């Protein structure tokens, strides 16, 4: 008798493995600092900060791999068909309105904070904001490469696999599709710097996954979404050796950016609603029998 593997997968087990991955990451960084102090020991060590996230992702995947295998998970069925490169390229264009929306929601969330709690905002978001890229010394080349690969490739693939693939499907089995979209996107938002933008991003990626029945679609959009700010940060640093920091007064005067951003993304939101929300098969991809013609039609939207 067939047993759905997602009836065996538990969210609390994933949380436990995440804690184990965190402990393993801290332990590994401490060990590396003892053997390679010039690279890993001290706040100014080039690789100390850049290896934390990739190690965390790797340990978490390794710890959960056995559980997913014992549950009988089919990775091919979870990920769906690999689209054509043209289809991936077209869907990656959705990253641009996503970035604009994230920037707009950042102002929506933190613009009032700059007025009502200016000291906290100054300390947390202006004085406390530092670039993840460093150009001082040869040892920072590997660190910068790790930061870029983590932000642009590792994080999008791992996060889409677990949030849209595992969590969304698990909670769809337990609560239904709409609640699972909300819950998985909420957990995704809690773990990100911009919770409003991340929550909406998670919901949109879930819709793309359900609509196209391919996990590769949200993965490539997520990769493109992270690539844009990463490349922009590199251009900013390379064009100016000592870029000036935005002051509190300057940030308070930039309210119009959020307004323009919401105006720009309005037609994209209307198009998304008409083409991806209406008349969509809301069955979770893993629980849907693959139908070649229908799948290809969805991917070509």
The string of pLDDT tens digits covering residues 87-114 is: 999 999 999 999 999 888 877 777 777 7
Is it the case that residue 217 has pLDDT exceeding 90? Answer: yes
The pLDDT of residue 148 is above 70: yes
Q: Residue 4: what are its φ and ψ, rounded to 5°?
A: -60, 120
pLDDT number for residue 136: 58
Residue 63 CB neighbour total at 10 angstroms: 18
Which pLDDT belongs to residue 35?
85
Contacts of 126 (CB under 8 A, 6+ apart): 245, 246, 247, 248, 251
Taking residue 243's Cβ as centre, other Cβ atoms within 10 Å add up to 11
Predicted TM-score (pTM) of this structure = 0.87
pLDDT at 73: 93
**pLDDT value for 291:** 42
Q: Which of the residue ranges 114-128, 179-193, 286-300 would you say has the lowest mean pLDDT?
A: 286-300
E strands, 44-193, are none
Check whether 75 has a pLDDT greater than 60.
yes
- Read off the pLDDT of residues 22-69 as tens digits, 9 standing for 90 and up: 999 999 999 988 888 877 776 666 677 789 999 999 999 999 998 999
Choice between 135 and 162, residue whose per-residue pLDDT is larger: 162
Q: What is the mean pLDDT of the chain?
A: 84
Backbone angles phi, psi at 9, to 5 degrees: -80, 130
What's residue 165's pLDDT? 96
The pLDDT of residue 280 is above 70: yes
**CA–CA distance from 277 to each of 194, 271, 280 (Å)?**
24, 10, 6
Give the model's pLDDT for residue 130: 54
**Going along the chain, which residue ranges are E strands?**
none
**Position with higher pLDDT, 115 vs 156:** 156
96-99 long-range Cβ contacts below 8 angstroms, 24+ apart: 96/228, 97/264, 97/265, 97/268, 98/201, 98/204, 98/221, 98/225, 99/225, 99/228, 99/229
Residue bearing tokens 């998970």: 73
């Amino acid at each position: 008798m067939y047993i759905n593997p997602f009836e065996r997968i538990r969210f609390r087990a994933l949380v436990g493995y995440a804690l184990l991955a965190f402990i393993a990451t801290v332990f590994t960084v401490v060990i590396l600092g003892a053997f390679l102090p010039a690279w890993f020991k001290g706040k100014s060590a080039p690789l100390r900060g850049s290896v934390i996230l990739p190690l965390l992702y790797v340990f978490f995947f390794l710890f959960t791999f056995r559980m997913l295998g014992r549950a009988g998970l089919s990775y091919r069925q979870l990920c769906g068909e690999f689209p054509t490169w043209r289809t991936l390229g077209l869907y990656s264009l959705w990253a641009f309105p996503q970035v604009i929306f994230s920037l707009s929601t950042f102002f929506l969330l933190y613009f009032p904070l700059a007025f009502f709690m200016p000291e906290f905002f100054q300390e947390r978001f202006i004085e406390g904001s530092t670039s993840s890229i460093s150009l001082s010394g040869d040892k920072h080349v590997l660190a910068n490469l790790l930061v870029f690969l983590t932000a642009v490739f590792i994080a999008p693939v791992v996060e889409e696999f677990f949030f849209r693939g595992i969590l969304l499907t698990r909670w769809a089995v337990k609560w239904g599709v709409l609640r699972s979209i909300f819950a998985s996107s909420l957990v995704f938002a809690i773990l990100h710097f911009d919770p409003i933008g991340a929550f909406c991003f998670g919901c949109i990626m879930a819709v793309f996954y359900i609509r196209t029945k391919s996990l590769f679609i949200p993965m490539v959009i997520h990769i493109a979404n992270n690539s844009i700010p990463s490349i922009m940060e590199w251009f900013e640093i390379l064009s100016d050796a000592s870029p000036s920091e935005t002051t509190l007064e300057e940030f308070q005067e930039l309210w119009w950016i959020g307004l323009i951003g919401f105006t720009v993304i309005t037609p994209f939101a209307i198009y998304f609603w008409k083409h991806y929300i209406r008349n969509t098969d809301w069955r979770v991809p893993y629980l849907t029998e693959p139908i070649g013609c229908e799948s290809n039609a969805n991917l070509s939207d």
